[in-house]
Chain A
């Protein structure tokens, strides 16, 4: 986004339709005029720049080159206004975001693997039948 060119038309980086959609997630929001939409887009970009810069400072302080979630968390903690609304929303360290969403709502059912041939089922020990030989190799599995 151009800040210093006086004759340039300013264009926010983000698709305005998407920004509008996010704004309207709150049912209490009525109408938003185009100025407001434009400024929210601008502020969102400023916010990213600000938080990225602060996070990078943390990364650098730790002598790392990859900016990670924990660095963002520390940066958020250090800026009071941001921390007030954001700190509790950040994912916990034990919950990585790159688990597919589907796993979180519908855990995949565990299917029974067929046991390798030659395996004795422990049940057989208890299924004593006069006609069966003492060691029963059970190859049939569901």
Chain B
């Protein structure tokens, strides 16, 4: 029987590519899952794919809540505090603590990065 897999129309290809663009790469998702599971555990392909979809839903859900807060406060740009707030509001208190720490360290890194830039510039002036 002739199987027309090779002759997929470009519309269908585009559809599949679009689907993948809405998901985080399965390799990353799988790797993170493996880190958590006991060494002899395995994950079905279906479970990995499901997890991909769950994460995208999660991202949309949190982003939407953070964005709504901005809208109400008449701000245009979603920032880190909005994301923290959204996580707490939506009941993900378990994440709120670690995420606030990440935010703190991210801001420290940004300051360090800026200072390094300034430091380099000062050294240049001294040359």
Instruction: Name A residues whose Cβ lies closer than 8 Å to a Cβ of B.
Output: 3, 9-10, 13-15, 18-19, 21-23, 25-26, 28-33, 35-36, 38-40, 42-53, 55-56, 59-60, 65-69, 71-72, 76, 80-81, 84-86, 89-91, 96-98, 101-102, 105-106, 108, 111, 113
- Measured between beta carbons, the chain A residues less than 8 angstroms from B67 are 26, 28-30
How far is it, in angstroms, between the C-alpha of A72 and the C-alpha of B55 when the chains are bound?
12
A43 near B92 (CB under 8 angstroms)? yes
Query: Is B119 on the interface with A (CB-CB < 8 A)?
Result: no
Instruction: Name B residues whose Cβ lies closer than 8 Å to a Cβ of A.
Output: 1-2, 4, 8-9, 12, 15-16, 19, 21-25, 28-29, 31-33, 35-38, 40-47, 49-51, 53-64, 66-67, 70-71, 76-80, 82-84, 87, 90-92, 94-95, 98-99, 102-103, 105-107, 109
- Measured between beta carbons, the chain A residues less than 8 angstroms from B44 are 66-69
Contact residues of A: prevailing secondary structure: helix
CB < 8 Å: which of A19, A31, A59, A97 contacts B24? Answer: A19
How far is it, in angstroms, between the C-alpha of A86 and the C-alpha of B31 when the chains are bound?
22
A46 near B57 (CB under 8 angstroms)? no
